[in-house]
A and B are shown apart, each in its own frame.
Chain A
């Protein structure tokens, strides 16, 4: 290993340990390590990248991946109208959608890659607890990090935009900073922070002066680690130092900021996330659109929003393809609740604690459907060993089962960050072979 590589490795290790500040650890290493660490740029994070799509407000799964068409559950189609692609069954929406992408087109393009789990028991049917439970796998704690935050903290703690969020429940467990970047142009403005108006030809400081500033900051930071600081202060110092040092990597984003900004909500979010992924400064992103809460006029609302949502997923995947990072992209598509199997007096559907979730990406075998709901849209338990429906002896698949499986999938289940936030899923209840 060359001296440069060695320094890079040490620096990376140091900054990752800074990331462990969430566990109450101070940045280790002496001033010498810091001096080596500070001036150099962290190599790009190269994947996998995780995107969690959230249909905020509660989607009607019977108009997507868990079609019924019986018992008055759906007014837009009957059981006989249900379509298939491989093993997938889905509701027909091409004739009803208002803009966006139909189920027909979505499944035609992505069905072979898609893993669907039906009969997911959200266990509650209120927005806030549901969103929290789905995002973290823990219903009764406000402290737990979301999966997106957790995987960012474990796999890319030094990335300047490690965890991006555009909405939905986004708690971090103090493991990693949450980044909100609502506008693409704002990324451009901050990309070259040491130059006047971001113009690299007009640096604020001469190079040697800036190097001295960074050196002094590194020494100052090292001196703090030796002091008796409160745990909260230790964490803050570590995160501040890492944020400033790692922010230099934002320069890498600018080549990937598109010249034209798309109009669609999810496409805008996707562009920011993809530019950040491609630049190697981001591990995970929460993408979210709202208004799914169709208590009045369920069908028109869902026929507007589900196609918009699917179009957003497709947009992300297409753009990822063009940026050549598609094969590193793991996509989770979810909502915090479902809709009732009956319509209310306002032609709407109220909250329902049973729903579905979809996955797609490298390491996930597609063209599969796990779990089910019955004719009344009640969850059917699943045998965690075989993943077959087992009404009598199976387990009700809840968010903690999904989150546990995601941790396993991402290879972070044994990471100290994950162990700090245990999900309490017994071994014999873990979903074996979920990813295929």
Chain B
């Protein structure tokens, strides 16, 4: 099922939505005496209890209790209300942790029939609303029991004196070998700009080391190729290219753009005399227009980053990006055409503020206090709303889910909890989503956001703006965001209202850092391990925590840099997580192996990336990793197939073989046919240099191999290294095998000698031997992976 499969009016069981009151309240309030009051000043100054933070909170509180025991949660009326640590930053998090510790301690101190109330509640006693959360024989329960023991019989130690982490444990990256600076530079330029490093960049990194990197990155991030990659990477996340149908009909509604959306049908192409050519031009016009419409959301990201605007504009920008073609679709071309450098370029984009929508009937006119469409960055684009549509029964819940995932980094369906009988719970209540505890736990958070989208109530191909005739649903929690209701006079700009709160939410910065990681690595950041009984738990948790620390550090830099997205990429590529490349020793304990399990970039290149890499190395792309072959090679269509393949199947292995064969075939003789100074692969050797002929010839061959290793694989090998020796032996063996034959053509094969700049004889089979070498290199990990 694709992820446009809807969330419907049913339960979202136990997902990790995390809700809390604004952090600023916590230390300013002095409501002492109230059981669930925020922490007091005295508490704020206290040290954080390490046992509580590392054991009770990490393994029980954050996993179990906060799902209900939080402001806005199903147990918010109880005397045990916790705070979401992820909603605070730095010292605020300490305050939140102290508050939570205080809540647990109070509960642990209350003794009921000789046992802590905390321990009774968690096993479902004392009418615990959440019933059994932890069986008495579970590791989580044991942690709570130890906490209760400490609280009720405190030793002379202060809370911080007992370390939860063994100080003798080496640092996380101990024994991990980092990529050397030259290879790091190559990784960066290939990844972000689809090219090899320049000599200037290599000199800078050789001379200045990593301190040269920020300047180089600044330069790389000004290149058009970087923005192409940026748009591609963010589409992997937002998938807005996957809008169904023809974009001029699905993105632009009949109701509001009836007269303009099909402008291309009447576009004057009469200057083209030939009928067939005119027809083809018409097709191209329509296709370019539709593609330009689909690209608008990613062009917004392009615009924000390119102009160093705060990335919060992703949810607050009061404009969209339009091209000369799409502007015609919106009916605003004449107003904005002077802004285009080339009004005939379908893919030149400028920012524009749309006027409030005017319908075919006045009832479909858009309400607006300013007269403008209430743009809220990506959130309010027609493409985003169309890509994640609603239905009568879905009630915008898919949009709410995607909002949380895309902009706050919370996947509400990721880790659902099982309940004893979900069907019975559903059947028991008239409105389960508002009444059944299992349902309310998530719907209380999700449904208000669904309500924010209420005026974009059109289905399928009917456009996206429009109010529900019967008014918004009353059997849902009303529109709002995390406990704050949407004021009635803000409804016309509800998405802007949501965008403003999103931009101010600390989770936004973290989510963007996670997007940056996804863009660079092709995979998501680690999730916290759940299974306390898993022997690998401690190692998995350490890996998670180390990565989390990095996410939060980069998020802080990102925030301090005025939400400049480039800062996120800079942060990641300079981090140990991006640079980790090997191990100092092959021997790893099982624990250490688990800790390092996800470490290292090791990304199978996507079809688009592989094509760019071929172009960077050989001067032209392969050109065949497109359409069906791209899909077979693990690509996405942004609709049904939305996750890129992470590991190569046999089918992909076959494509790799074909690619290696074909690219080597096209480029080996071709390179020899060029003047030496114009060659990319063989600048310092000719086909008549044969192995074993002389020490000088062997040296030249080895130098060429070193050059090829660097160019194709990004390796900096010594001419006498085992890898160079292996490649040399391949070359020499093929030449020798050929010499033993007398039935071979003295020319390259027909297919591999096409398009040469001059004839390249091959009497000694050396050109074909070099082709075998290039084929061999193109099949290797260093070429096919990032």
Alpha-carbon distance between A260 and B284 when the two chains are bound, in angstroms: 32
Is B657 in contact with A124, judged by CB distance below 8 angstroms? no
How far, in Å, is A53 (CB) from chain B's closest CB? Answer: 14
Query: Is A196 positioned at the interface, with any CB of B under 8 Å from its CB?
Result: yes
Residues in A neighbouring B658, C-beta threshold 8 A: 190, 193-194
Query: Is B580 positioned at the interface, with any CB of A under 8 Å from its CB?
Result: yes
Alpha-carbon distance between A167 and B642 when the two chains are bound, in angstroms: 11
A residues contacting the other copy or chain, number (CB 8 A): 100
Chain A positions 207 through 225: 1 when the CB is less than 8 Å from some CB of chain B, otherwise 0 = 0111011011101100110
Is A227 in contact with B586, judged by CB distance below 8 angstroms? yes
Query: Is A366 positioned at the interface, with any CB of B under 8 Å from its CB?
Result: no
Residues in A neighbouring B298, C-beta threshold 8 A: none
Is A140 in contact with B416, judged by CB distance below 8 angstroms? yes
Is A127 in contact with B1, judged by CB distance below 8 angstroms? yes
Query: Is A50 positioned at the interface, with any CB of B under 8 Å from its CB?
Result: no
Query: Is A396 positioned at the interface, with any CB of B under 8 Å from its CB?
Result: yes
**Interface 9-residue window, one of A77-85, A173-181, A408-416:** A173-181
Is A247 in contact with B426, judged by CB distance below 8 angstroms? no
**Interface 9-residue window, one of B3-11, B316-324, B367-375, B560-568:** B3-11
Query: Is B176 positioned at the interface, with any CB of A under 8 Å from its CB?
Result: yes
Chain B positions 1 through 30: 1 when the CB is less than 8 Å from some CB of chain A, otherwise 0 = 111011111111100000000000000000
Query: Is A95 positioned at the interface, with any CB of B under 8 Å from its CB?
Result: no
Query: Is A11 positioned at the interface, with any CB of B under 8 Å from its CB?
Result: no
Is B1 in contact with A196, judged by CB distance below 8 angstroms? no
Query: Is B214 positioned at the interface, with any CB of A under 8 Å from its CB?
Result: no
Is B647 in contact with A177, judged by CB distance below 8 angstroms? yes
Q: Which of B5, B654, B723 contacts A193 (CB 8 A)?
A: B654
Assuming the A-B contacts A142-B527, A186-B629, A290-B1, are A123 and B419 also in contact, with contact meaning beta carbons closer than 8 angstroms in the complex? yes
Alpha-carbon distance between A56 and B427 when the two chains are bound, in angstroms: 23
Query: Is A432 positioned at the interface, with any CB of B under 8 Å from its CB?
Result: no
Identity of the chain B residue whose Cβ is nearest the Cβ of A229 in the assembled complex: B582
Chain B positions 596 through 629: 1 when the CB is less than 8 Å from some CB of chain A, otherwise 0 = 1111101010000000000000000000000011
Residues in A neighbouring B580, C-beta threshold 8 A: 230
Query: Is B207 positioned at the interface, with any CB of A under 8 Å from its CB?
Result: no
Query: Is A344 positioned at the interface, with any CB of B under 8 Å from its CB?
Result: yes
Residues in A neighbouring B527, C-beta threshold 8 A: 142
Is B581 in contact with A230, judged by CB distance below 8 angstroms? yes
Alpha-carbon distance between A301 and B586 when the two chains are bound, in angstroms: 58
Is A350 in contact with B8, judged by CB distance below 8 angstroms? yes
Is A243 in contact with B650, judged by CB distance below 8 angstroms? yes
Residues in A neighbouring B391, C-beta threshold 8 A: 295-296
Is A212 in contact with B583, judged by CB distance below 8 angstroms? no
**Interface 9-residue window, one of B148-156, B248-256, B484-492, B726-734:** B726-734
Residues in A neighbouring B176, C-beta threshold 8 A: 230
Alpha-carbon distance between A417 and B163 when the two chains are bound, in angstroms: 36
Residues in B neighbouring A215, C-beta threshold 8 A: 730
Is A236 in contact with B602, judged by CB distance below 8 angstroms? yes
Is A344 in contact with B393, judged by CB distance below 8 angstroms? yes
Alpha-carbon distance between A185 and B776 when the two chains are bound, in angstroms: 28
Assuming the A-B contacts A125-B11, A193-B661, are A209 and B780 also in contact, with contact meaning beta carbons closer than 8 angstroms in the complex? no
Query: Is A302 positioned at the interface, with any CB of B under 8 Å from its CB?
Result: no
Query: Is A99 positioned at the interface, with any CB of B under 8 Å from its CB?
Result: no
Alpha-carbon distance between A351 and B393 when the two chains are bound, in angstroms: 11
Residues in B neighbouring A232, C-beta threshold 8 A: 596-600, 602
Residues in A neighbouring B415, C-beta threshold 8 A: 140-142
Is B651 in contact with A140, judged by CB distance below 8 angstroms? no
- Residues of B768-786 at the interface with A, using a CB-CB cut-off of 8 Å, are 768-769, 771-772, 775-776, 779-781, 784-785
Residues in A neighbouring B3, C-beta threshold 8 A: 128
Is A177 in contact with B648, judged by CB distance below 8 angstroms? yes
Chain B positions 745 through 786: 1 when the CB is less than 8 Å from some CB of chain A, otherwise 0 = 000010110000000000000001101100110011100110
How far, in Å, is A337 (CB) from chain B's closest CB? Answer: 9
Identity of the chain A residue whose Cβ is nearest the Cβ of B530 in the assembled complex: A140
**Interface 9-residue window, one of A101-109, A157-165, A316-324:** A157-165
Is B650 in contact with A182, judged by CB distance below 8 angstroms? no
Is B648 in contact with A123, judged by CB distance below 8 angstroms? no
Q: Which of B10, B418, B738 contacts A139 (CB 8 A)?
A: B418
Is B393 in contact with A348, judged by CB distance below 8 angstroms? yes
Query: Is A129 positioned at the interface, with any CB of B under 8 Å from its CB?
Result: yes
Is A240 in contact with B776, judged by CB distance below 8 angstroms? no
Query: Is B593 positioned at the interface, with any CB of A under 8 Å from its CB?
Result: yes
Query: Is A204 positioned at the interface, with any CB of B under 8 Å from its CB?
Result: yes
Residues in B neighbouring A287, C-beta threshold 8 A: none
Residues in A neighbouring B597, C-beta threshold 8 A: 24, 231-232
Is A57 in contact with B1, judged by CB distance below 8 angstroms? yes
How far, in Å, is B645 (CB) from chain A's closest CB? Answer: 7
Q: Which of B598, B602, B768, B779 contacts A217 (CB 8 A)?
A: B779
Residues in B neighbouring A24, C-beta threshold 8 A: 593, 597
Residues in A neighbouring B772, C-beta threshold 8 A: 205, 209-210, 212-213
Chain A positions 223 through 262: 1 when the CB is less than 8 Å from some CB of chain B, otherwise 0 = 1101111111100110110111111011000000000000
Identity of the chain A residue whose Cβ is nearest the Cβ of B737 in the assembled complex: A208
Identity of the chain B residue whose Cβ is nearest the Cβ of A169 in the assembled complex: B1
Q: Which of A177, A179, A193, A209 contacts B657 (CB 8 A)?
A: A193
Query: Is B652 positioned at the interface, with any CB of A under 8 Å from its CB?
Result: yes
Is A293 in contact with B781, judged by CB distance below 8 angstroms? no
Alpha-carbon distance between A104 and B712 when the two chains are bound, in angstroms: 62
Alpha-carbon distance between A206 and B323 when the two chains are bound, in angstroms: 52
Identity of the chain A residue whose Cβ is nearest the Cβ of B590 in the assembled complex: A24
Assuming the A-B contacts A232-B600, A233-B602, A243-B653, are A216 and B729 also in contact, with contact meaning beta carbons closer than 8 angstroms in the complex? yes
Q: Which of A128, A191, A193, A354 contacts B423 (CB 8 A)?
A: A354
How far, in Å, is A144 (CB) from chain B's closest CB? Answer: 11
- Residues of A315-348 at the interface with B, using a CB-CB cut-off of 8 Å, are 336, 340, 344, 346, 348
Which of B413, B598, B604: most chain A CB closer than 10 A?
A: B413
Assuming the A-B contacts A230-B176, A295-B8, A350-B10, are A193 and B648 also in contact, with contact meaning beta carbons closer than 8 angstroms in the complex? no
Q: Which of B6, B585, B651, B784 contacts A160 (CB 8 A)?
A: B651
Assuming the A-B contacts A125-B426, A244-B657, A295-B393, are A208 and B734 also in contact, with contact meaning beta carbons closer than 8 angstroms in the complex? yes
Is B648 in contact with A239, judged by CB distance below 8 angstroms? yes
Alpha-carbon distance between A121 and B394 when the two chains are bound, in angstroms: 23
Residues in B neighbouring A141, C-beta threshold 8 A: 415, 530-531
- Residues of B648-681 at the interface with A, using a CB-CB cut-off of 8 Å, are 648-658, 661-662, 664-665
Residues in A neighbouring B738, C-beta threshold 8 A: 206, 208-209
Which of A189, A190, A237, A340: most chain B CB closer than 10 A?
A: A190
Is A296 in contact with B632, judged by CB distance below 8 angstroms? no
Residues in B neighbouring A160, C-beta threshold 8 A: 649-651, 653-654
Alpha-carbon distance between A56 and B593 when the two chains are bound, in angstroms: 37
- Residues of B714-744 at the interface with A, using a CB-CB cut-off of 8 Å, are 722-723, 726-727, 729-730, 733-734, 737-738, 741, 744
Q: List 14 A-B contacts (CB under 8 A).
A: A126-B8, A142-B415, A162-B650, A172-B647, A182-B632, A182-B641, A204-B749, A215-B730, A217-B776, A223-B726, A228-B585, A228-B586, A230-B602, A396-B420
Identify the A interface with B (CB < 8 A): 24, 56-57, 121-129, 131, 139-142, 159-162, 167-168, 172, 174, 176-183, 185-187, 189-191, 193-194, 196, 202, 204-206, 208-210, 212-213, 215-217, 219-220, 223-224, 226-233, 236-237, 239-240, 242-247, 249-250, 281, 288, 290, 293, 295-296, 336, 340, 344, 346, 348, 350-354, 376-379, 396, 398
Per CB-CB distance, the 4 closest pairs between chain A and chain B, nearest first, are A160-B650, A243-B653, A247-B653, A295-B393
Identify the B interface with A (CB < 8 A): 1-3, 5-13, 176-177, 391-394, 413-424, 426-427, 527, 530-531, 580-586, 588, 593, 596-600, 602, 604, 628-629, 631-632, 634, 640-641, 645, 647-658, 661-662, 664-665, 722-723, 726-727, 729-730, 733-734, 737-738, 741, 744, 749, 751-752, 768-769, 771-772, 775-776, 779-781, 784-785
With A181-B632, A196-B665 already in contact, 17 other A-B pairs whose C-beta atoms are closer than 8 Å: A57-B1, A126-B10, A126-B413, A160-B650, A172-B647, A180-B631, A183-B628, A204-B662, A208-B737, A212-B734, A216-B776, A220-B726, A230-B176, A231-B599, A243-B648, A247-B652, A295-B8
